Amino acid sequence: MPRDPWWLFCYWELTPERIASARKKYAHEEPLDLVVRVYEEESGESFDIVVLRDDGEWTFKGIPDRPWHVEIGLRTTHQNFIMLARSNQTRTPPEGPSFFQESSSSSLFLAGSSSSVRGQDAP
C-alpha cells in the first residue's frame, strides 16, 4: 500500500509448513534466502529484499506515480526464484499536493497458494 509518493508498505503471512514444503520440493535448487521481490511495472525492473518469515511486513522506497507489485519467495544460490505468494498491483500517487478528496488505499498483501519457479508449479 502506498504510504506516500516515495514509500510503499507490504505485509505477508507465511506458515513455516508452506516454506518447508517449498524447500523440500526444490531441495535440488538449494533455496537459501526468503526474499520480497519488488516489481516496478512500467520499467519492468525488480529488486530483492532479504527478509525473515517472522518480519511479516516491509516498507520500501519507490518512485511516484508508478505501478508496483511484490512477490515473496525463496531465492536459490543460482539466483532462481521460487514464488510463494504474489500481491495485487498498486500505484504510488503522483508527487505534489492532491486535490482529489476521495480516499482509497490498495494493499500489497502477499497471499495465495499458487506458486511457481518461473514456469514450474510449486506446492
Q: Tell me: the pLDDT tens digits for 16-53?
A: 898 888 888 888 877 679 999 999 999 999 999 999 87
**Single-letter code of the amino acid located at 99:** F
> Rounded CA gap, 46 and 25, in Å?
25
- Specify the pLDDT at position 47: 96
> Rounded CA gap, 112 and 123, in Å?
11
Q: For the domain bounded by 2-110, which CATH number is listed?
A: 2.60.40.10
Instruction: Find the mean pLDDT for residues 88-115.
Output: 65
Q: Which three cell numbers stand for residue 9?
A: 508498505
Most confident residue range from 23-37, 57-71, 92-106: 57-71
Higher pLDDT, 29 or 59: 59
Please give the mean pLDDT across all residues of the chain. 81
pTM for the full model? 0.74
3-state secondary structure the chain: CEEECCEEEEEECCCHHHHHHHHHHCHHHCEEEEEEEEEECCCCEEEEEEECHHHCEEEEECCCCCEEEEEEEEEECCCCEEEEEECCCEECCCCCCCCCCCCCCCCEEEECCCCECCCCECC
> Rounded CA gap, 19 and 6, in Å?
31
Residue keyed to cell 480516499:
103
